[in-house]
Amino acid sequence: MTSADAPPHPAHRPSADAAPAPATPGKVAIWLFLATEIMFFTGLLGSYIVFRAGSPPTSYSNLYAPAAQLDRLKDARGVVLGAVGPDADGVAGAIASATGKGEAEVARILAAAPHGVVNGLDEKGAGELTAALGKLGAKAEAASLRTSNWPRPYDPLTNPLSIDLTTVNTFILICSSATMVLAVSAIQQGRKGRCSLFLLATLVLGGTFLGVQVFEYHELLEGRSYPIGISPTGHFTPEVSLFASCFFTVTGFHGLHVAAGVVTLAIVFLGSLLGRFSAQDFGAVEYAGLYWHFVDVVWILLFTIVYLI
């Protein structure tokens, strides 16, 4: 790697204006760091793949959260409240009298419409409640307890993830990688202004990606309410299924990495504005770029495995 004649130690670099060494300690370190990151994501994504390939069918139930005792509820039915209709108080009263649920819980179910799930009923109770709610002008539908395995793409009944939105987001991230390449090549040619511009573009695109992901998380966690094929609570939270656990862990850690990347880019961008980098000294830009490409590559893998398959 290094020969005796060209000592790599900084203290022995012949002079500052000579051509940069092919590999600097920083570059070696950033590659090593990325290698450790790859192993980390291998652990997370590998677990997802293992689960997906051989998970038990009970990993997800549509009417009850995973901690519920399903053996106690074998034949349980539920009623899905599609729309509350004009008589909210009446609907609440009907649900409360049919199930004995407390006020707070009933309010939560009403709020979750069109996917409010009334669980804890048997077949007859579910039928009666459906009919009663229908009379009150609410939209209601009886559902039976099912366990389902993994969501399929483009199936709104089992999959809460919006592939279209994420495809756009993926495109944004790929674009940001491209602008990052342009930024690095600009600074290599000594074009500082152009470098700053492309760094800014990368920063903005990265921020957009992050923003879209935050929006997606918000939608999943509380913004929308999902059919019981996805979640018994109407919200897609980490505890509702093995898929949700994996999804939030994998994308969450990726999101943290993107956030770290955005902060790094912001620092590099400031440095660039202040003219810290030159055609000879652009280590920080290059390292930030390597990291950014890594984040991008991980996302492409993740998008394929988690969203598309």
Partner 1 sequence: MIVRRRPVFGLWISLALAAGCSDADLTGPLAYEEQPGMTREVDGKSHLADKPKIREKARAVLAKLYGPNPKEIHVPEGAPFSKDESGTVGGLLANHLRTAEGPKRLPHAGGFALYRRHCLHCHGLSGAGDGPTAPFVFPPPRDFRRGLYKFTSTPNGARPDRDDLRRTVRDGLHGTSMPAFEALLTKEEIEQVLDYVTFLSVRGETELALIEEGFIGDDEDPDALEDDVVADLTSAVFGKWEDAADKVVDPPVARTPSSPESVRRGRDLFLGRTKEKLECAGCHGVKGRGDGKSFVDPDVFNRVVFRGDPSKMAERVAQLDEPTQELWKQKLDEWGNPLRPANLTVPVYKGGRRPIDLYWRIAKGITGAQMPAHYPGIDHAQIWDIVNFVLALPYQPELLEEPGVAAEAEAVRR
Partner 2 sequence: MSDAHVHPRPRNPLTRYVFSTDHKVIAVQFLFSGLIFFAVGGLLAMIIRWQLAWPWRPVPILSKWLWSAPALGGQMPPEFYNKLFTMHATIMIFFVIIPILTGAFGNFLIPLMIGARDMAFPKLNMFSYWIMWPGFAFLLASFFVEGGPSEAGWTGYPPLSTDPHAAPGSLNGQTYWLLALLCAGISSLTGSINYITTVVMLRAPGMKMFRMPMTVWSLFITALLQAFALPVLTSALVMQLLDRTAGTNFFSPVGASVGNGPAVTGGGAPLLFQHLFWFYSHPAVYVMILPGMGIASDVISTFSRKPLFGYKPMVVALAAIAGLGFIVWGHHMFQSGMNPALGATFMVSTMMIALPSAIKVFNWIGTMWGGRIQYTSAMLNAMAFVSMFIIGGLSGIFMAATPVDIHIHDTYFIVGHIHYVLFGGSTFAIFAGVYYWFPKIFGRTMNEGLGKVHFLFTFIFMTGTFLFMHIVGWHGHMRRIPDPTVYEFLRAPGVVWMNQFMTICAFALGLAQVPFVLNFFYSLVAGPKAEANPWKANSLEWTTASPPPHYNFEDLPRVFHAPYEYSVPGGEEDYLPQTSPLPPNITLDPVMA
Catalog residues that contact partner 2 under the rule CB under 8 A.
Answer: 1-2, 4-5, 7-13, 15-16, 23-25, 28-29, 32-33, 35-44, 47, 50-51, 54-56, 58-61, 64-71, 147, 237-242, 244-246, 248-249, 253
> Is the CB of 33 or the CB of 217 nearer to partner 2?
33
**Which residues, in sequence order, are CB contacts of 300 under 8 Å at separation 6+?**
170, 174
Given partner 1, partner 2, none, residue 253, with its beta carbon under 5 to 8 Å by kind, binds: partner 2
In whole angstroms, the minimum distance from the beta carbon of 295 to partner 1 comes to 36
Which structure tokens are listed for 3?
A: 């020969």
Given partner 2, partner 1, none, residue 15, with its beta carbon under 5 to 8 Å by kind, binds: partner 2
Q: CA-CA distance, 136 to 140, in Å (whole number)?
A: 10
At residue 151, φ and ψ (nearest 5 deg) are -70, 150
> Is the CB of 25 or the CB of 137 nearer to partner 2?
25
> Is the CB of 140 or the CB of 244 nearer to partner 2?
244
The binding site for partner 1 (CB under 8 A) comprises 67-69, 71-75, 100, 102-104, 122-125
Residue 70 DSSP one-character state: G
In whole angstroms, the minimum distance from the beta carbon of 245 to partner 2 comes to 4
> Is the CB of 89 or the CB of 281 nearer to partner 2?
281
In whole angstroms, the minimum distance from the beta carbon of 64 to partner 1 comes to 9
**Which residues, in sequence order, are CB contacts of 15 under 8 Å at separation 6+?**
none
Question: Are residues 119 and 129 in contact, defined by beta-carbon separation less than 8 angstroms?
Answer: no
Given partner 2, partner 1, none, residue 102, with its beta carbon under 5 to 8 Å by kind, binds: partner 1
Q: Report in angstroms the alpha-carbon separations of 171 from 159, 231, 292, 304.
A: 21, 29, 14, 13
Buried b (16+ CB within 10 A) or exposed e, 177-213: bebbebbbebbbeeebeebbbbbbbbbebbbbbbebb
> Is the CB of 102 or the CB of 137 nearer to partner 1?
102
